[in-house]
Structure formats: structure tokens, C-alpha cells
């Protein structure tokens, strides 16, 4: 595993913006920059760290981890549903099939937890007992496992996703009932597979989100990302039970601790300017991303720091024929 000293040396070797590639038609998301290549898409996973609907920092090697973790899961879930992956010409880049995206994000939760204003635990602790059509009993506590995973869909938005029930999705004709049943079956199967795979590697897959679409032939495809530390929450399984019984927060291996740091030092929803996260905190998060990659894939994380990521991207895309 890469040492923290190496991470600290690469604090400035991050990809925050990809306009240096001079490829027209870039659409900038919270973390990914998307380029329309005509018959396919180029998705570049940057090192931007997003939470509270804004960018908090840039984390070394994060983009590579997210892209390669997704590639691992895409290859290992084809027995459940096909996906958009065509190629990965660079550690941060995916070439993907174009498709018509369903206007819903499929959020699957295995545990009652979270710290944001829209998290299941925040809503539950404020007295709500029905979330997106899912009824929950009184007496649950934070970080408790649900009897079975629940689906809490949200609308897709570049600014702020909003929770929505299945009844609303169908009544507003966002997705027809027959298609919805197929999609629901797919996401629960993906979550079950992810849960089992994570458990074999000492992890608990707490919750996650999926995005799906239709290709030109009408086939359902899994798109965007899957089971990454940006789209998912992971805990270490070895200490979960003991810490839960002692009313302690689980040991996490995702970005939750960065969220908590900002909540402790500012109001990330209202403050116009946020404090700069300490270098040690950024290095710790980078290390956690790398650790997750290694735990999930069983592979050693490898990256070339002999040149800048920009130079590497330019070389790889030129060699693959994506740059003129």
C-alpha cells in the first residue's frame, strides 16, 4: 500500500479540472467530467471530493481508485445486469456506451445511518417513520441493521437530489410499472452481491446508489459507478458489533469522517466559504480510498508518480486515439 508520505508529496498532483485536454463538449459533474465522443462517452473521474452538494477538497489518487473500483465491479456483476463499460484507456478514464438514463437514482440502504439532512437516520431521529414508502418501527437506533435492505429512490439533479416514493415515480410516469419491477429486482440483486463480496473481504456494505439506463436496443445497463467509496458507505465488519453495542460509531472506510469534520468546523450547507481541510486529513482519506480498493479487489494499488497525472492522461489518450 502507498505510504502516507507519498500521498503528502502528491497533494498538488491532483486532477480537479480536465479542460486542459481541449476536448469540446465537456459536461462537468460533481466528481466526473463527461465528454460526448459521438457514438460513446468519455467519463473522467477527477480527484474532486464532493459532499453537501459542493466540492470540499481534492484527494490524491481518489479518481483512479473510484474508476478502477468501478471497473472491478462492472466486470464482476455482468451476470446480474450488463453495463456501459467499453474500455479504460487511463486509470482515471472510462469509455462508455451511450444510453438513455432513467431519471431516478436507486439508493439501497442496509442500515439506519447517515449524517446529512436527507439521511435515513436524520429523518428517523426527527420522527419520520415512513421514508420513500418504507415503514420503519419505533425504537430503532443509529447504525442498526434493517431487517432487510430498503430502497429509497431520489430524483436526479445536478444541484440537490430529492427523495421520492415508488408510488410517486409511477404516478408521475417517470418509469412504467413493468420496467420499475425489473429495475428494483436488479438493484437489490446488485446490493446482495456487493454485500456478500464485501463481507468476504472484511467489510460491510452499508448503503449505496445505482444509476441505470437503456441502450439503443432497449437493454437495461448499469452506468455511472458502482460500489465505490463515493457512491457507497463501508464499515469494517470486525469491529461493528462491539462498537454498535457500546453506542460508538462504526469504523468507516469512506468519506463520512470528512463530512463530519466539516460539520464540526462550519455549516457546509450555508457558509459561502468553507475552511480548508488539513493536509493530514486529506492524506488519511486518500489512504482509506486506497485501502478500500485493495480490500475489495485483492490487488495492490499501483500508480506511476514519475510524471504528473495530466501528462499521463495526455499520453494515454493520444496512444488510444482519443486526442488529435
Task: Give 270-316 pLDDT, tens digit per residue.
Answer: 888 888 999 999 999 999 899 999 998 888 999 988 889 999 999 99
H helices of 77-165, in order, are 120-125
- φ/ψ of 43, rounded to 5, equals -110, 115
- Give CATH superfamily name and number for 4-100+258-319: Phosphorylase Kinase; domain 1 (3.30.200.20)
User: How much is the pTM?
Assistant: 0.90
CA angle 103, 255, 245 (to 5 degrees): 105
pLDDT at res. 160: 61
Architecture per CATH, domain 102-212+232-245, reads as 2-Layer Sandwich (3.30)
The tens digit of pLDDT for each residue in 127-179 reads 999 999 999 999 999 999 999 999 999 998 665 678 899 999 999 999 999 99
pLDDT at res. 176: 96
The residue count for the chain: 324
C-alpha span between 234 and 260 (Å, rounded): 15
> Which residues does residue 222 pair with via DSSP β-bridges, in sequence order?
83, 212
Q: Where are the domains of the chain?
A: 4-100+258-319, 102-212+232-245
C-alpha span between 32 and 49 (Å, rounded): 10
DSSP reduced 3-state for 197? helix
pLDDT at res. 279: 93
Query: In the 8-state DSSP scheme, what is residue 114?
Result: -
The tens digit of pLDDT for each residue in 9-61 reads 898 999 999 999 999 989 998 899 999 999 899 999 999 998 887 888 999 99
C-alpha cell at 1: 500500500
Amino acid at each position: 500500500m502507498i505510504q502516507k508520505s507519498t500521498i503528502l508529496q502528491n497533494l498538488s498532483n491532483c486532477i480537479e479540472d480536465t479542460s486542459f485536454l481541449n476536448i469540446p463538449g465537456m459536461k462537468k459533474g460533481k466528481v466526473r467530467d463527461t465528454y460526448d465522443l459521438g457514438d460513446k462517452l468519455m467519463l473522467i473521474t477527477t480527484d474532486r471530493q464532493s459532499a453537501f452538494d459542493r466540492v470540499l477538497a481534492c484527494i490524491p489518487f481518489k479518481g483512479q481508485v473510484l474508476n478502477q473500483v468501478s471497473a472491478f465491479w462492472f466486470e464482476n456483476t455482468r451476470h446480474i445486469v450488463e453495463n456501459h463499460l467499453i474500455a479504460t484507456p487511463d486509470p482515471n478514464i472510462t469509455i462508455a456506451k451511450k444510453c438513455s438514463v432513467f431519471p431516478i437514482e436507486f439508493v439501497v440502504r442496509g442500515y439506519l445511518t447517515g449524517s446529512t439532512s436527507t439521511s435515513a437516520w436524520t429523518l428517523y431521529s426527527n420522527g419520520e417513520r415512513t421514508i420513500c414508502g418504507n415503514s420503519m418501527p419505533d425504537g430503532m437506533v443509529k447504525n442498526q441493521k434493517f431487517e432487510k435492505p430498503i430502497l429509497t429512490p431520489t430524483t436526479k439533479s445536478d444541484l440537490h437530489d430529492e427523495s421520492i416514493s415508488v408510488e410517486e415515480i409511477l404516478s408521475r410516469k417517470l418509469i412504467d410499472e413493468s420496467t420499475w419491477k425489473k429495475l428494483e429486482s436488479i438493484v437489490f440483486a446488485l446490493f446482495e452481491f456487493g454485500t456478500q463480496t464485501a463481507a468476504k473481504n472484511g467489510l460491510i456494505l452499508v448503503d449505496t446508489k445505482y444509476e441505470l439506463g437503456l441502450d439503443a436496443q432497449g437493454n437495461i445497463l448499469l452506468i455511472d459507478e458502482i460500489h465505490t467509496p463515493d457512491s457507497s458507505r463501508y464499515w469494517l465488519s470486525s469491529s461493528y458489533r462491539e462498537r454498535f453495542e457500546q453506542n460508538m460509531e462504526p469504523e468507516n472506510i469512506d468519506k463520512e469522517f470528512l463530512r463530519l469534520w466539516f460539520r464540526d468546523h462550519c455549516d457546509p450547507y450555508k457558509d459561502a466559504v468553507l475552511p480548508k481541510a488539513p493536509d493530514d486529513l486529506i492524506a488519511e482519506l486518500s489512504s482509506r480510498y486506497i485501502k478500500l480498493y485493495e480490500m475489495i479487489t485483492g490487488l495492490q494499488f499501483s500508480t506511476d508518480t514519475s510524471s504528473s497525472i495530466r501528462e499521463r492522461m495526455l499520453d494515454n489518450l493520444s496512444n488510444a486515439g482519443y486526442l488529435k
